[in-house]
Amino acid sequence: MTRNITVIGGGLAGLTAAIACAENGSTVTLHEAHRTLGGRARSTTAPYVANDGPHVLYSDGEPFRWLARRGLVRPFTRPDLRALARARFRHHDRLHGLPPAGLRRMLVRRRLSAPVDRDFAGWAEHRFGAEAASTAAGLAGILTYREAGQLSAAFVWERILRATAPRWPAVRYLTSGWGAMIGRMAEHARTLGVRIEVGSRVDHLPPGPVIVATSLDAARTLLADESLRWDSGHAALLDLGLRSGRDDLFLLSDLDAGGFLERHSAVDPTLAPAGHTIVQAQMPMRAGESLSDAVHRLERLADLGLPGWRDRLVWRREAAARHRTGAVDLPGHTWHDRPTIDRGDGVWLIGDSVAAPGLLAEVSITSALTAARSTAQRHALPLSR
């Protein structure tokens, strides 16, 4: 039997849930409080197209395959040898073409398991030494949006291994930014009959079944549930639109402080005007650090990777990302301990901070598919793949 399902939130998770529920035979209405869809998957408009932080998808996971089967990720690009040759590591404030030897020795121990109940810094130092532990934590900054040494060793180690798998890079850059994919998802949802209402704020929980696809802060208020809390990242974001420079790097991984700088237009020229480039950078913020101080550290990273960038600056955007960069697990916790998806009484909670596995945005997609499957099973509807 057909069920009417309400989805609250029109970001990546909400649109995924709406599509999956519609494919399962439900009638779906999606409410988005903002005038535009996308949430953290929004992109700025041309001429400089920047995501809300450096965004990529990993093609080796089921979330990517689910999107690809529906034609929602193409066109995309991937780094070629020319781009990878312009990648560097910052170590002891100098640039290197390879990570230090201690980190390389660490990364070949791929069968090694890390404990859940120890922090990454302590475990890695015990196994590999202080130097390798410090650089590994710096490498993980891009994956956690915070100082990784404080987090569960298992959480950080799993992400490092995934991002450094010894194969041709699985990262995919969505052509024209993530906003383009959001547009395709919205169009696909509408063709399935999903009713999308933007500028539609939901202040009271409607009759179920309801899928809540908001931040935990918003869900806590909507569901009147103070338990909906989990740790997330805290990072400074800096986006730069520049006139192109011959010596600009493609990416720079800051092993000293966990920062990251990536010139997205090196793999997708549509993101900036001809003769220009778009750079996105992030830096985990220290306890008590101001945004201006963290941005100053990012500017120092730009000094290393983009010589003379200040004289070529055309467009700039900076922001602090706090509690909106996905779940991170502290020692003693795993994704199983995060807020549950099925809240009972016909309510499901999805997003990047709930009890679902995956890397960054994958948590949103996985949780959305889990909720859609649960609603279908509860009401004996056919399941989509």
pLDDT digits (tens, 9 = 90+) for 185-227: 999 999 999 999 999 999 999 987 999 999 999 999 999 999 9
The CB-side HSE value for 278 (13 A sphere, CA atoms) comes to: 26
C-alpha Rg value of the chain to the nearest Å: 21
Confidence of residue 380 (pLDDT cuts 50, 70, 90): low
pTM of the model: 0.94
Nearest CA to 141 out of 68, 211, 215, 54 is that of 54
Give the whole-number percent of the chain exceeding pLDDT 70.
Answer: 97
- CA dist., res. 175 & res. 268, Å (int): 6
**Each residue's pLDDT tens digit, 222-257:** 999 999 999 999 999 999 999 999 999 999 999 999
If you average pLDDT over residues 151-167, what whole number do you get? Answer: 92
Q: Which residue ranges form the domains of the chain, and what is each CATH number?
A: 4-43+179-230+330-378 (3.50.50.60), 98-163 (no CATH)
Average pLDDT, the chain: 94
Nearest CA to 364 out of 344, 335, 343 is that of 335
Strands 232-243, 260-263: pairing is unpaired
Instruction: State the Cα torsion 163-349-215-369 to the nearest 10°.
Output: 40
Instruction: Decide if pLDDT at 167 tops 90.
Output: no
